[in-house]
Structure 1
């Protein structure tokens, strides 16, 4: 069974974090939510999220995918945390998936993992970085090899379904999607 890490930073976008965790768990995948610091995580709209563990407790554990929820200032907190950059690089080197939504693709870019790839994010976020070696698209979800990015809260469900497909196949994605009565 695939193992996925979802780091939670203060000020993350709750709709993205909860949708990602929920749908991946509906697919029967092991999801670990890890806070950057002790205590509950207060998301960008005031919703309080309870982390499973502290990030330090799982940093040395293997993961098949790391998924970064966006939102501000959550994505900024992720981007300023060297543990996140190191973790992303390690999982990428181990041929795992790296996924980010909304403002969080900038964290992946700043970790050096978008070079030569196509990606998307919240409008203007990647463009503001002036990345000459990244093809920024406007699709709801963009997969370029092991890197999967998405636009924002409105695309969170499509993003989570794409993550399920990448990890568990089209049949599992379809099964979870059918259970959502879309």
Structure 2
């Protein structure tokens, strides 16, 4: 399985990088995709070198896209035609989509949460258009994975790892990282 994590200016560091870290520990190929270029600044101005620009990726080879939260990161993800097109394409193709914190609000605004269960950061529930809001820290609904916020980042990342590499691998990484 190959995963793309979209990094837009203002992303939440823990939410984006925990997914990259956990998946790479688990042997899953993950691409840090710069929506705004080769180097993208986080919500707290931490600048990270991307693996590729989002527009240069062959999405036919990608099995899942992930949208981290963070402000103004989610606003920049929502404003990106590329992100919108890829999320809509992945939904139509029944491919995996992940989003955490305020990220699920972007999925709601794109119209891909209709009939799904989803969680999000408190205060963003109104943007989960068509979804049933669930208070759990991580929710899997069909092929959409949502997470509540930065404090649930490792659970969210481990859920994605379980999807990508199996329950045994996710447990192995969880135990190695001493996540209780």
TM-score, with structure 2 as normaliser = 0.95
Whole-Å Cα distance in 2 between the matches of residues 165 and 84 of structure 1? 24
Partner residue of 2:169?
A: 172
Q: CA deviation at 1:65?
A: 0.6
Gaps of 5+ in 1: none
SS at match of 1:105: helix
Post-superposition offset of 1:60: 4.3
Distance 1:145 1:37 in 2: 30
Q: Which digits, 9 at most, give the CA deviation of each residue in 1:81-132, with x for residues without a partner?
A: 11111101112222211000011101111221100111001101122x373x
Structure 1 residue runs of 4 or more that deviate by more than 4 Å after TM superposition: none
Cα distance in 2, alignment partners of residues 181 and 36 from structure 1: 32
* Residue in 2 that maps onto 1:53: 52
The residue aligned with 1:160 is: 157
Query: Structure 2 residue aligned with 1:139, among 125, 129, 136?
Result: 136
**In the alignment, is the contact (CA less than 8 A) between 2:2 and 2:63 conserved in 1?**
yes
Match of 1:121 in 2: 120
Instruction: Give the conservation status (yes or no) of the 8 Å contact 1:119–1:136.
Output: yes
Quote the Cα distance in structure 1 between the aligned partners of 2:121 and 2:46. 21
Tell me the equivalent position of 1:84: 83
- Residue number in structure 1 paired with 2:19: 20
> What displacement does 1:134 show?
1.3
Counterpart of 1:73 in structure 2 is 72
TM superposition score normalised by structure 1: 0.94
| Structure 2 match to 1:102 | 101
- For the residue of structure 2 that corresponds to 1:171, the secondary structure is helix
Distance of 2:34 and 2:67 partners within structure 1: 12
Question: Residue 102 of structure 1 contacts residue 122 of structure 1 at CA under 8 Å; is this kept in 2?
Answer: yes
CA 1:45–1:95 in structure 2 vs 1: closer, same or farther (change >3 Å)? same
Following the alignment from structure 1 to structure 2, what is the Cα–Cα distance between the partners of residues 130 and 166? 23
Contact 1:63 1:91 in 2 (8 A): no
Shift of 1:45: 1.5
Unaligned runs of 5+ in 2: none
Return closer, same or farther for 1:178/1:37 CA change in 2, 3 Å cut-off: same
**Secondary structure of the corresponding residue to residue 70 of structure 1:** coil
SS of 1:95 mapped into structure 2:
coil
